[in-house]
């Protein structure tokens, strides 16, 4: 049989209590992350998935839509297929191991996405704004669904700016953060809010951005995005600091959450303390 026509029918777990698309998303994500499903593998049909999960086809359809939005599933002539997002083709970036660069990655994200928000306020169509609203997080959503909805919102905004170069750069940068959803567990690790408060806050931030875009308020859209990303960055860096403390039983010399000037001063001090090679002349 032709390798390109290979069909994978994994042993999905039957959903007994609730027919929620979030549970379907979680199972498929788990299979992707454990390599039970790999790029190029074709998912069973909607009817077959419905039977395997023991749920209605509408819930399966919603789950596949979420996965398509995040770029992990695509529609081909062969049906629904597992794929790597374009941003995943860049070299792997381990957030937990490379703490020195995470701040710069987020800084680059902010610079681009704030500008994209202003462009979206000028260019987004009513249909594109409606897609952003559809990406608001449902109350009680699981972490996997929250991550998928958040990615869907930010990437739909990037597309609505109608600048293919900025959008591609943005997808590559956020690919460093979103790869295998590592960004989200790190962010949640240090979160003080309960899940309901977190979802309400994120939706409120997203709505402020959407409303400014719909009002064609360029400055307002950029400010709303900046405030949203500032809060997200602070939470991420605090979580990484906490992770360092847990792993080393000591606080870092200069926490990642410290002001940027203090970070730069620390780097300069390390450079000045480094032994110099003797001058042989």
Q: Which residues pair with 76 in a beta bridge?
A: 79
Using the predicted structure, report yes or no on whether residue 97 has a pLDDT greater than 50: no
What domains can be seen in the chain, in order of their start residue?
10-84 (1.10.10.10), 99-259 (1.20.120.530)
pLDDT: which is higher, 48 or 19: 48
Higher pLDDT, 273 or 130: 130
At 170-189, the pLDDT tens digits run 887 887 676 544 577 666 66
Q: Name the residue with tokens 């249909």.
A: 127
Q: What is the pLDDT confidence band of residue 237, given thresholds at 50, 70 and 90?
A: confident
pLDDT mean across residues, the chain: 77
* Count of Cβ atoms closer than 10 Å to residue 280 Cβ: 4
Q: What angle do CA 107, 253, 235 make, to 5 degrees?
A: 40
pLDDT band at 13 (very low <50, low <70, confident <90, very high): low
Q: Which of 81, 4, 11, 88 is nearest to 39 (CA)?
A: 81
Residues in Cβ contact with 71 at an 8 Å cutoff, skipping those fewer than 6 apart? 83, 84, 85, 86, 87, 88, 155
Q: Is 138 within 8 Å of 97 (Cβ atoms)? A: no
Asked if residues 199 and 137 have their Cβ atoms less than 8 Å apart, the reply is yes
């Amino acid at each position: 049989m032709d390798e390109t026509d290979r069909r994978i029918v994994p042993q999905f777990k039957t959903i007994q209590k609730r027919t929620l698309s979030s549970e379907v998303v979680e199972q498929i994500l788990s299979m992707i992350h454990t390599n039970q499903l790999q790029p190029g593998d074709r998912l069973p049909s909607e009817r077959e998935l419905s039977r395997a999960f023991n749920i209605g086809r509408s819930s399966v359809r919603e789950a596949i839509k979420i996965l398509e939005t995040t770029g992990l599933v695509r529609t081909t002539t062969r049906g629904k297929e597992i794929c790597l997002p374009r941003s995943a083709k860049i070299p792997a970036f381990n957030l937990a191991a490379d703490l020195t660069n995470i701040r710069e990655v987020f800084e680059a994200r902010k610079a681009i996405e704030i500008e994209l928000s202003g462009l979206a306020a000028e260019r987004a169509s009513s249909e594109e704004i409606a897609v952003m609203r559809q990406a608001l997080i449902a109350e009680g959503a699981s972490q996997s669904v929250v991550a998928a909805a958040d990615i869907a919102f930010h990437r739909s905004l990037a597309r609505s700016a109608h600048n293919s170069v900025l959008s591609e750069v943005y997808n590559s940068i956020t690919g460093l953060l979103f790869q295998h959803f590592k960004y989200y567990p790190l962010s949640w690790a240090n979160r003080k809010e309960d899940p309901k408060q977190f979802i309400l806050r994120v939706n409120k931030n997203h709505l402020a951005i959407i409303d400014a875009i719909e009002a064609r308020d360029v400055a307002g859209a950029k400010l709303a995005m900046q405030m949203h990303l500032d809060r997200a960055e602070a939470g991420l860096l605090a979580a990484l600091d906490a992770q360092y403390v847990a792993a080393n039983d000591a606080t870092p010399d200069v926490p990642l959450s410290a002001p940027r000037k203090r970070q730069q001063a620390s780097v300069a001090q390390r450079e000045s303390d480094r032994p110099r090679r003797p001058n042989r002349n």
